[in-house]
Structure 1
Amino acid sequence: MKRKLVTMLSVVMVASTIFTACGKSGEAAKETKKIDKKSSEKKEAKDPAKLPQTAKNRKDTLIVGVQTPPGNFNPIYGQTVDDQYVVNLVFDSLTANDKDGNPTPRLAEKWDLTNGDKTYTFHLRKGVKFSNGNDFTAKDVAFTYTALCDPSYDGPMGNYVEHIDGYEEYKKGNATEVKGIKVIDDNTISFTMKEVYAPSMDAFGYGVGIMPKSEYDFPKGNIQKLKDKFLTPVGSGPYKFVNFKQGQEVNLTRNDNYWNGQPKITNIILKSTNASTQIQELVSGGVDIDRIPARPENIQQLEAAGFLEEQIYPKNGYGYIGFNLRDKKFADKKVRQALTYGFDRQKFVDTYYKGYADVCHSAINTVSWAYESNLNEYKYDKDKAEKLLDEAGWKKGSDGIREKDGEKFKIKWLTYTGSKYVDTLIPILQQDWKKIGVEVVPELVEFATLSSKVTDKREFELCNMAWASSLDPDQLGTFGIQQDVPGGFNAGGFRNEESDKLLKEGIAVTDKAKRKEVYSKWQKLVNDELPYIFLDSSKEMFSVSSKVKNMDISTYVNWTMNIDKVELQ
């Protein structure tokens, strides 16, 4: 069948381990090397014999370094990458994907596409059980997707189901079931879309775990009962949840009755690490796997340990600075364009990544078949930035700070602690914008607080975060007007009718060439409107201890996907 996937975006904190002082742009450039950001590489461990005794003694437990997850351990509410790791381990989805992004069987052994490409019928595995001992059936699948349609659902994944026939009647009316979700028998279920929806398959893909109705059932309109179980997740995945120690670790143990065979590792601990401790934990053997920024200094330290392997690949995502477009300071796109021209993004990328990233210009990543390369790159141009600000009515005062209608151009910037990425970004941004008459005041908070303030409360003027993108170029889940709600991913409030029109065209056709034309137009529009300042598109790197076998991570396959086959030496 044709590949038909929808974008699921989850917030990911870009952490760092080595501080790089901000130098002159030319000096930074001398230290960088340009690499092919579409290539992958694996740096094998040079001397596995150097594995610390601490790690050797740990025979039955894999320790993975993560940023502290907020604790939304639920398939339809997990927002951060680290919450999603827990979801992936505890819950299983209908399908997964291979390294090229093509869908593969999971809880569904096979599926059919009929009714003019509008009906997806999934044939489920028999004999699958949830960790509470209950059988997995089509009713659990129907419950999970009906929960996403619930009137009280306030999470980030509503766009996954809004195209199912009967969604509106259930969400906003008196319907007692979603018309397009049909349980045919215990092992067969179908989903019928209102119209052709090209990205449909991703709604059934990896990370959208199936919840047992017996554990999570709730009366229509009272989803709080489901949310109350965030810290007691129950699924059919390879691991079972044990406990969560806020700010410290998440403990899991294997599901001995996992449908795909007993996992080879008994226990997994997701241990909270940060910029100051990541490499130290890896080198000492206290952590077996962690996501480390792909920078020369980091790679040198990891290679020096001898027993660590580096898996480096293009990250399907990007870093960005987001505007709260409800703030009148940012209402004029000339202001947004000026702030983009006025920030030397190349200097930041060179200073921080030293060749392992490029300046980003689009929400659709360079690894995607839909990427549009012919975009305005907004190369650093102080004069152009000042001209645009003048045209927008922001004039420099006697103190050098611009003002308009009696208001100083002062921006409160919400960002996060514990990251050298941020430590590098702050002075460069402040200095560059001061030159064009804009004052920036950073407010540093824990990442979980940042996520809540931005996504749930939308209490910010400016923020910086990053998106980990899914396979399909669809962006309605991030930039769509319908996502401009508390808990939605359009936290900045980008409300552009032409953008929505193009994005809806992009999901209404399955021909890839035609879709590419639509997404090219959309990228050019967003490149002009700039709801974000697109920052960087980087390589991602996981450092993996030599004691860990069969762990292969790539752009579309994270470390959890085939965890049941991973072994400890």
Structure 2
Amino acid sequence: MRKVGKLAVLGLTALGLALAGPQDNSLVIGASQEPRVLAGDFLSVISNQSIKAEIENYLFVPFITLNLDGQNTAVLATEVPTTQNGRVRFADIGQGRRRLEIDITIRPDARWSDGRPITTEDVQFYFEVGKAKGMPVLDPDYWERVNLRVRDARNFTVIFEPAYATDLIGNPIGYAPKHIMGAAWEQVKRQTAGLDPTRDAARLAEIYRKFFTDFSTPAYLNQGKMVYSGPFVLRRWVPGSTVEMVRNPQFPITPPGGADKYVQRVVYRFIQNTSSLQVAIMGGSIDALSRVGLTFDQARAPQLVQRARGNFDIWFVPGAIWEHIDVNQFANVPRVRELGLNDKRTRQALLHAINREGFVRTVFQGLQPVSHTWIAPVNPLHNPNVRKYEFDLKKAEALLAEMGWRKGPDGILQRTVDGRTVRFEIEWVTTAGNVVRERFQQFVAEDFRKIGIAVRINNAPSAVVFADDFIQRASEGRWTGMFMFAWISNLKENGDLFSCRFRPTRENNYQGQNVGGWCNEEYDRLRDQAVVEFDFAKRKALFDRMQEIWAEEVAALPLYFRADPLIVRKGLVNYVSAAYSGGFNYPNWEPWTIGWTQRGAEKRWDQAKYALTIR
């Protein structure tokens, strides 16, 4: 009886909170992850969490973004560069390659939240930090090709050599507050002056990580010292609970009717257990769901749908969000060699032993497509004709038998490696609290057990597993088996997720996002041709072959492409998303226009156009 009474009181309290949104022009968003850092980590050296990027959409805006239809839209740039307006120029540099120059002019009214103008000094500062020797950037390919020419305080040119066919999609370069972080960077330059990236990688990583961390923690941000360029500024971060943001009076873009008619305060509530987040929505204490929120089945649960009816709209937005399992293939890691994870037959066996169709049918009613490659069906480069691995335990057993595995007395496979008997027990990491991922682990572990594979689950919060000193350290055995998570792809598909050059190791100071370490020379050769190919048909043919190689080798274990639920209280407008909105499917890609119709906000976008029709 006590428990029932407590829930009733919580429900009433939450219902009271729910009325606050339109009344005080605020917005409360529920999220199942909390960022490890915010703001100062502008190169995502410390963390590459999706929730970090989503929240930062309120705090910082790009020069150019992608709208819901995937079209370039100017934000802090005066206009979108095109060949027609003379702001885009190509030059032939031989061997079928081009040089690309993109001219950008910063809006004259662009300002940091402290009133300081945003200038080319801030672009130059961003560029200098990204180009620093041994900087552990996520996209080293970009930093190898990009250059910058500054003409004056508001005009600059971004140069790509060689140019990629995707360089004109979205934002070509970022910026960061030099007047806040510049002095500390000068100290970093003095500290790193005599260091060699190949010899002193660990020391360089330590210095760089400290630089970004110092400007990114709750303790620093709560002092109000950081500046922001977006429509909101961070007011308070309560770790484990909330991030609160309020309107930035310096933001130059005025939504229709005036900024006062739109949301003035945004609060993120972090509820890492998705079942608890579901209860919070039903209780009414949340106005909208983060893109990092509920799972598909939870958003379709009858109890949620019934409680939400009349109060919320529930959408399912198909996107390029790829749920998959990376497999550690770094042969220098003893456990990788013992289990043969660097042998494609092992990965093929693992994939044959995963009933992806059954899971999608049971949990998602078949509404999320099983993936067979890393490129989403909504991307024009997608190849539907690659090798597919049906659920077949007999085929999995046969492949493992080829490699010398035999069941031991306890039913678990074993074989002899270097004179020792090795037991097939594989580590499996994912984000703790994500109900679907944890359910998937249990679902698959039962079938793995049938063929003699034991699973050791090693889950942790997203802030832990997506920290650079974990996810980027497979080459050092920080995780030794399988790591289940989602990559968010965009129209700038360059195939770099699986290039040999982008495997993060100590030698390259952990640059790149090929965290599992798969490497194939033919794939890389084709990729190098594809990225500089501007004829779409030819580029598509190259990517088709790349996907065929990828599928044959099982570079990673593909699971499914997500259609993410978006739950929005009725009356809230412009909190919308599409597959490539803002580049990465976030619902707050145009955050200055999010508002309540009850407060006079004007609806600019119709989510129905970009969502699945589900009966």
* TM-score (structure 2 length as normaliser): 0.78
Equivalent residue number for residue 228 of structure 1? 214
Cα distance between partner residues in 1 of 2:117 and 2:234: 18
- Partner amino acid, structure 1, of 2:439: T
Cα distance between partner residues in 2 of 1:445 and 1:92: 31
**1:526/1:311 CA distance change after superposition, 3 Å:** same
- Partner amino acid, structure 1, of 2:326: G
Q: Does 1:469 align with 2:473?
A: no
Q: How does 1:88-103 map to 2 (within 5 A)?
A: 88-103=57-72
Cα distance between partner residues in 2 of 1:279 and 1:556: 26
Equivalent residue number for residue 132 of structure 2? 150
Q: Residues 59-110 of structure 1: CA distance to partner in whole angstroms, max 9, x if unpaired?
A: 2321111212212433311511110022211111110012221211111123
**1:225/1:440 CA distance change after superposition, 3 Å:** closer
Q: How does 1:67-466 map to 2 (within 5 A)?
A: 67-73=33-39, 74-77=41-44, 78-110=47-79, 111=81, 112-116=87-91, 117-164=99-146, 180-202=147-169, 204=171, 209-217=174-182, 218-219=185-186, 220=189, 221=192, 223=208, 224-231=210-217, 232=221, 233-261=226-254, 262=259, 264-273=262-271, 274-290=273-289, 291-295=293-297, 298=300, 300-304=302-306, 305=308, 306-326=310-330, 327-328=336-337, 329=339, 330-405=341-416, 406-452=421-467, 454-458=470-474, 459-460=478-479, 461-466=481-486
**1:477/1:318 CA distance change after superposition, 3 Å:** closer
Q: Larger relative contact order (C-alpha < 8 A, sep ≥ 6)?
A: 1
- Note if contact 1:65-1:287 (Cα within 8 Å) is conserved in structure 2: yes
Task: Give runs of ≥4 in structure 1 deviating > 6 Å.
Answer: none
Cα distance between partner residues in 1 of 2:117 and 2:90: 30
Deviating more after overlay: 194-203 vs 279-288: 194-203
Q: Residues 281-300 of structure 1: CA distance to partner in whole angstroms, max 9, x if unpaired?
A: 22222111113323386353
Which of 501, 512, 526 is residue 550 of structure 2 equivalent to? 526
- Note if contact 1:88-1:561 (Cα within 8 Å) is conserved in structure 2: yes
- Note if contact 1:348-1:424 (Cα within 8 Å) is conserved in structure 2: no
Cα distance between partner residues in 1 of 2:362 and 2:343: 30
Equivalent residue number for residue 516 of structure 1? 540
Q: How many angstroms does 1:525 deviate by?
A: 0.7
Equivalent residue number for residue 19 of structure 1? none
Q: How many angstroms does 1:527 deviate by?
A: 0.4
**1:478/1:265 CA distance change after superposition, 3 Å:** farther
Q: How many angstroms does 1:447 deviate by?
A: 2.1
Which of 484, 491, 503 is residue 515 of structure 2 equivalent to? 491
Q: Does 1:65 align with 2:85?
A: no
- Note if contact 2:498-2:555 (Cα within 8 Å) is conserved in structure 1: no
**1:124/1:518 CA distance change after superposition, 3 Å:** same
Cα distance between partner residues in 1 of 2:170 and 2:499: 18
- Note if contact 2:473-2:504 (Cα within 8 Å) is conserved in structure 1: no
Identity among equivalent pairs (%)? 23
Cα distance between partner residues in 1 of 2:170 and 2:213: 21
Q: Does 1:482 align with 2:516?
A: no
- Note if contact 1:91-1:234 (Cα within 8 Å) is conserved in structure 2: no
Q: Residues 383-426 of structure 1: CA distance to partner in whole angstroms, max 9, x if unpaired?
A: 11111111122223343322221211111212232122123212
Q: How many angstroms does 1:478 deviate by?
A: 5.1
Query: Which structure has the highest helix share of the two?
Result: 2
Equivalent residue number for residue 575 of structure 2? 551
Equivalent residue number for residue 46 of structure 1? none
Cα distance between partner residues in 2 of 1:52 and 1:137: 45
The secondary structure found in structure 2 opposite 1:561 is coil
Cα distance between partner residues in 2 of 1:379 and 1:359: 11
Q: Residues 127-167 of structure 1: CA distance to partner in whole angstroms, max 9, x if unpaired?
A: 21111221011221122122211125224243332212xxx
- Note if contact 2:123-2:174 (Cα within 8 Å) is conserved in structure 1: no
Q: How many angstroms does 1:468 deviate by?
A: 1.3
- Note if contact 2:122-2:176 (Cα within 8 Å) is conserved in structure 1: yes
- Note if contact 1:395-1:402 (Cα within 8 Å) is conserved in structure 2: yes
**1:203/1:544 CA distance change after superposition, 3 Å:** closer
Cα distance between partner residues in 2 of 1:106 and 1:556: 16
**1:243/1:158 CA distance change after superposition, 3 Å:** farther
Q: How many angstroms does 1:255 deviate by?
A: 0.6
- Note if contact 1:484-1:494 (Cα within 8 Å) is conserved in structure 2: no
- Partner amino acid, structure 2, of 1:69: P
Q: Residues 13-62 of structure 1: CA distance to partner in whole angstroms, max 9, x if unpaired?
A: xxxxxxxxxxxxxxxxxxxxxxxxxxxxxxxxxxxxxx944322342321
- Note if contact 1:109-1:123 (Cα within 8 Å) is conserved in structure 2: yes
Cα distance between partner residues in 1 of 2:108 and 2:299: 50
The secondary structure found in structure 1 opposite 2:158 is strand
**1:159/1:483 CA distance change after superposition, 3 Å:** farther
Q: How many angstroms does 1:487 deviate by?
A: 5.9
- Partner amino acid, structure 1, of 2:465: L
Cα distance between partner residues in 2 of 1:379 and 1:260: 51
Equivalent residue number for residue 41 of structure 1? none
Q: How many angstroms does 1:199 deviate by?
A: 2.1
Cα distance between partner residues in 1 of 2:311 and 2:301: 13
CA RMSD, Structure 1 to Structure 2 (Å): 2.1
Q: Does 1:567 align with 2:595?
A: yes
The secondary structure found in structure 2 opposite 1:145 is helix
Q: Residues 241-266 of structure 1: CA distance to partner in whole angstroms, max 9, x if unpaired?
A: 12222211111111112111247211
- Note if contact 1:216-1:226 (Cα within 8 Å) is conserved in structure 2: no
The secondary structure found in structure 2 opposite 1:508 is coil
- Note if contact 2:429-2:483 (Cα within 8 Å) is conserved in structure 1: yes
Q: Residues 463-500 of structure 1: CA distance to partner in whole angstroms, max 9, x if unpaired?
A: 11111112222121454422423363221112222222
The secondary structure found in structure 2 opposite 1:564 is helix
Cα distance between partner residues in 1 of 2:551 and 2:56: 34
Cα distance between partner residues in 2 of 1:267 and 1:440: 45
- Note if contact 2:88-2:101 (Cα within 8 Å) is conserved in structure 1: yes
